[in-house]
């Protein structure tokens, strides 16, 4: 009987120890997660409140982003930002997206000294954004240029004829809903699209001429869609210097009087954690972990479709979009 009592007591002691360590492990993990979140969000917020150089990353296909435009406006109002580096790694994107960023960055340059750094690639609308700065730096072998505008569309009329399918439409006017996928483009529709492209192209070339101090004939000569290395772009006066972010920052220090050895802080339109209540930050990060696991297969499938095919309207983009997608 004594043996049974002793065994029962031992089991209860063991159960209490296991329960204690389970609770302790949970508390430690929870504290680590919460502490890490506080540190990351707090450090990010603190770094943006002290004097620094703001880095604005422009990466992947360029679209008009309200959050990015609001972030640029916020940088302009920040007394802690002493200079700005536009870090570009993009083949371009929608012409209106590039235009919106260009205008926002030109307004920013009225308040802060702004320099652009072209990393692996900065072409078309990516180069358009670089024009918003007062100094452009690129690596010797960076790819830039591709100045121009494109309106691209498909036509499946021959495929439909092969499979025996016909499409018909009643229009209010001949140019309504042109071009379409189901019939050959009429000369009138093609002329309309060409006028659209030419108008946007002339605007783009005028930016190049104005911002790079080139006469219009020379700017148009360079705006034939060609791509250039950073070295050739410097020779053609499309950029100012060869180098990376360190060279860009040296220019801010030497030419704009930005204090030396300031930290460089990345501002991202996707990083708004510090603006959320603490409980929301915890919930958001927890949900993000679960969501990424569930949506990863969908993202991989979506990646099979080139980004360029999902752009509507006029685009200013070099076709090798995968060269810059998701490169930090």
Percent with pLDDT over 70 in the chain: 70
**Residue 309 pLDDT:** 44
Whether the per-residue pLDDT at 203 is higher than 90: the answer is yes
Q: 264 versus 49: which is more confidently predicted? A: 264
**Residue 321 pLDDT:** 43
Query: Average pLDDT of 277-281?
Result: 45
pLDDT in tens, 185-200: 889 999 999 999 999 9
Residue among 17, 67, 111, 176 flagged as catalytic: 176
**Residue 320 pLDDT:** 44
pLDDT in tens, 136-167: 999 999 999 999 998 888 888 888 888 888 88
The pLDDT confidence band at residue 300, using thresholds 50, 70 and 90, is very low
Across the chain, where does the E strand assignment appear? 52-62, 81-94, 114-123, 136-138, 143-145, 227-229, 241-242, 264-266, 315-317
**For the chain, how big is the Rg over CA atoms in Å?**
27
**Residue 235 pLDDT:** 97
Query: Average pLDDT of 219-232?
Result: 96
Query: Average pLDDT of 278-305?
Result: 45
The set of residues, in sequence order, having a beta carbon less than 8 Å from that of 64 and lying 6+ positions away, is: 94, 96, 97, 100, 101
- Residue 124 known to be catalytic: yes
Distance of alpha carbon 276 from alpha carbon 274, whole angstroms: 6
pLDDT in tens, 69-127: 999 999 999 999 999 999 999 999 999 999 999 999 999 999 999 999 999 999 999 99
> What's the chain's average pLDDT?
81
pLDDT in tens, 52-68: 999 999 999 999 999 99
Distance of alpha carbon 285 from alpha carbon 295, whole angstroms: 15
Q: Tell me, what DSSP letter sits at residue 213?
A: T
Query: Average pLDDT of 217-234?
Result: 97
On whether the CB atoms of residues 114 and 88 are closer than 8 A, the answer is no
- Residue 176 known to be catalytic: yes
Whether the per-residue pLDDT at 171 is higher than 90: the answer is no
**Residue 288 pLDDT:** 47
Whether the per-residue pLDDT at 305 is higher than 60: the answer is no
Beta pairing partners, 328:
none
Strands 315-317 and 143-145 turn out to be: unpaired
The pLDDT confidence band at residue 12, using thresholds 50, 70 and 90, is low
**Residue 115 pLDDT:** 98
Residue among 90, 94, 124, 142 flagged as catalytic: 124
């Amino acid at each position: 009987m004594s043996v049974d009592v002793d065994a029962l007591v031992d089991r209860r002691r063991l159960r209490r120890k296991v329960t204690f360590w389970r609770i302790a492990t949970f508390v430690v993990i929870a504290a680590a997660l919460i502490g890490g979140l506080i540190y990351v969000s707090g450090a990010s917020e603190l770094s943006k409140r002290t004097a620094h150089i703001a880095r604005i990353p422009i990466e992947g296909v360029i679209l008009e982003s309200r959050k990015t435009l609001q972030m640029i406006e916020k940088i302009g109002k920040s007394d802690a930002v002493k200079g700005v580096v536009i870090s570009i790694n993009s083949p371009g994107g929608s012409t209106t997206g590039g235009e919106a960023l260009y205008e926002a960055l030109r307004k920013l340059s009225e308040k802060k000294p702004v320099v652009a750094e072209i990393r692996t690639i900065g072409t078309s609308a990516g180069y358009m954004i670089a024009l918003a700065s007062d100094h452009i730096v690129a690596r010797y072998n960076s790819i830039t240029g591709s100045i121009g505008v494109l309106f691209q569309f498909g036509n499946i009329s021959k495929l439909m004829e092969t499979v025996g399918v016909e499409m018909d439409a009643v229009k209010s006017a001949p140019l309504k809903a042109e071009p379409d996928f189901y019939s050959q483009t009429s000369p009138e529709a093609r002329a309309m699209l060409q006028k659209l492209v030419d108008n946007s192209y002339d605007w783009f070339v005028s930016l190049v001429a104005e911002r790079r101090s080139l006469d219009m004939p020379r700017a148009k000569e360079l705006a034939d869609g060609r791509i250039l290395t950073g070295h050739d772009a410097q020779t053609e006066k499309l950029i100012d210097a060869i180098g990376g972010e360190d060279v860009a920052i040296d220019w801010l220090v030497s030419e704009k009087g930005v204090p030396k050895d300031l930290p460089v802080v990345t501002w991202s339109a996707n990083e708004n954690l510090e603006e959320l209540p603490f409980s929301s930050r915890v919930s958001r990060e927890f949900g993000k972990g679960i969501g990424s696991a569930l949506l990863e297969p969908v993202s991989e499938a979506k990646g099979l479709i080139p980004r360029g095919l999902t752009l509507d309207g006029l685009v200013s983009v070099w076709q090798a979009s995968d060269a810059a997608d998701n490169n930090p």
